[in-house]
A = this chain, B = another copy of it.
Amino acid sequence: MEFGHIRRSEHLPARIAGQIARDITEGRMRPGEKLPTEHFLAKALGVSRSVVREAIAQLRNEGLVETRQGVGAFVTEAHARPIRIEQDDLADRQSFRDLFQLRVPLEIEAAGLAALHHTADDLRRIDEALASMSGGEKWTAEGIVADLVFHRAVAAATGNEYFSVFIGFIAERISLAIDAARAAAVLEEIVEVTIEEHVALRDAIASRDPKRARKAMKMHLLGAAKRLDLTLEGYEVASD
């Protein structure tokens, strides 16, 4: 018995958009070039103009084309396109580790900057996150969320929004992966030490000592990596 994928034609506009997107990213259409008119494309592809319009709308949304009413649709200059990162990639262990590896220097730097720049408000939010971690006795979904909130709060305290965005993204993905992959039972016994590490980090930030904050964050992340059975090179010997 063979079920074979029924080509659910997964959204007609998306397929058309994908095809045009490939034409653009692979260089068959150059920046500044004008796309055929909607009428032409509709006729050529054998679909209605609505479908073509939706496809073009998607391309516009992805930043690949710009449209001007009464004129046409044009391929955008490459540098105007936004970055976009899908998930689905961190399913395997390799990419999980890669993501963690990316996280380490960012978080360490953030801790240092947070020590320098945090406001009273920032510190209050960090303390709140810490409280909600200690409060709940369980290292369940809420614990994971609280951890995420804590790291976000630290990132926010840098006063640099890029750190918030990037760390928020990374930490969230990692927390999710942990949530999915690890048994809660294993993690419960190590929750205390984790909280200790967080408290140490919080105090270092509060004392406005960037060096100590960086060290505390580094210790925390290395501890986390160890608990997750990850090995990170270059951090046993690195001086800071």
| Chain A residues near B (Cβ < 8 Å) | 13, 50, 53-54, 57-58, 61-62, 79-80, 82-87, 89, 95, 98-99, 101-102, 104-106, 108-109, 112-113, 116, 160-163, 165-166, 169, 172-173, 176, 210-211, 214, 233-234, 237-240
Among the interface residues A102, A108, A109, which one has the most CB atoms of the partner chain B within 10 A? A102
Q: Please measure, in the bound complex, the distance between the C-alpha atom of A162 and the C-alpha atom of B170, giving whole angstroms.
A: 10
Q: A80-B87, A106-B106 are in contact. List 10 more A-B contacts (CB 8 A).
A: A53-B54, A79-B172, A95-B162, A98-B162, A99-B162, A102-B106, A105-B109, A112-B238, A211-B238, A214-B238
* Residue in B50, B61, B102, B234 whose CB lies within 8 Å of A62: B61
The CA-CA distance from A233 to B213 in the complex, in Å, is: 14
* Bound CA span A199–B67, Å: 44
How many copies of the polypeptide does the oligomer hold? Answer: 2
- Whether the Cβ atoms of A84 and B83 lie closer than 8 Å is yes
> Contacts of A176 on B, CB cut-off 8 Å?
79
A61 to B82, CA, bound (A): 14
Given A58-B61, A237-B211, A163 and B102 contact (CB-CB distance below 8 Å): yes
Q: List 23 A-B contacts (CB under 8 A).
A: A54-B57, A61-B61, A61-B62, A79-B87, A79-B173, A82-B86, A83-B83, A83-B84, A84-B85, A89-B161, A98-B161, A99-B162, A101-B113, A101-B160, A101-B162, A102-B106, A102-B163, A102-B166, A105-B105, A116-B233, A116-B234, A210-B233, A211-B237
